[in-house]
A and B are shown apart, each in its own frame.
Chain A
Amino acid sequence: QKEVEQNSGPLSVPEGAIASLNCTYSDRGSQSFFWYRQYSGKSPELIMSIYSNGDKEDGRFTAQLNKASQYVSLLIRDSQPSDSATYLCAVKQGTGFQKLVFGTGTRLLVSP
């Protein structure tokens, strides 16, 4: 079983719709969770971090965490073509430095 699993996609949504990206992880002791956006050929860019169960909102982005189900999700409201990218879920190992375990990413395509 992979440590961090994501559906590779592509996930296709029309402009203005809500995009829902999901991620599951295997280490029940994990405490810190991150969503990165990566455009093709570019560096990963942190867009959300979440540490507690529940929802965390930042603009059009909402991260959701359910530690009991070992599940993290990212919702993107009012999706724009510029949101088309690969979204990487990352889970921090341990409680020390930023040793992150990444999923393989979900490719999101937002059509005009």
Chain B
Amino acid sequence: NAGVMQNPRHLVRRRGQEARLRCSPMKGHSHVYWYRQLPEEGLKFMVYLQKENIIDESGMPKERFSAEFPKEGPSILRIQQVVRGDSAAYFCASSPDRNEKLFFGSGTQLSVL
């Protein structure tokens, strides 16, 4: 049973470009979370999605950031017009139910030049 799969593992973008981060949850998991880890800071909640629905996006910046979890395919975290401050590790986690424990993926390290 494969774990939570994230790709790419590393992503380098120049300022102003778009970043797309992908997350495939564990088999049987329909709940997906995105967390961001800035250098020297703890993991910060960004967004919680179920299939085709955004349930809570209170941790996501209002501009440039969006997330989706379509009926088919991985969850996507999209960052438009990236800035240097977006450089961070972005972790996806999944769970089989809203109250169940989270399984984290290996993360995507985004570097903005």
A-B contact number at CB 8 A:
56
B-facing residues in A38-73 (Cβ within 8 Å): 42-46, 49
User: With A97-B55, A97-B98, A99-B48 known to touch, is A43 a contact of B105 (CB < 8 Å)?
Assistant: yes
Residue of A with least CB distance to B50? A97
Q: Which of B44, B91, B99, B101 contacts A43 (CB 8 A)?
A: B91
Q: Which of A88, A97, A98, A99 contacts B42 (CB 8 A)?
A: A88
A98 touches B44 (CB 8 A): no
Q: Which of B45, B91, B101, B103 contacts A99 (CB 8 A)?
A: B45
Complex-state Cα separation, A19 to B41, whole angstroms: 22
Q: 6 extra interchain contacts, Cβ-Cβ under 8 A, other than A49-B101, A100-B102, A102-B42?
A: A46-B103, A96-B98, A97-B56, A98-B31, A98-B33, A98-B100
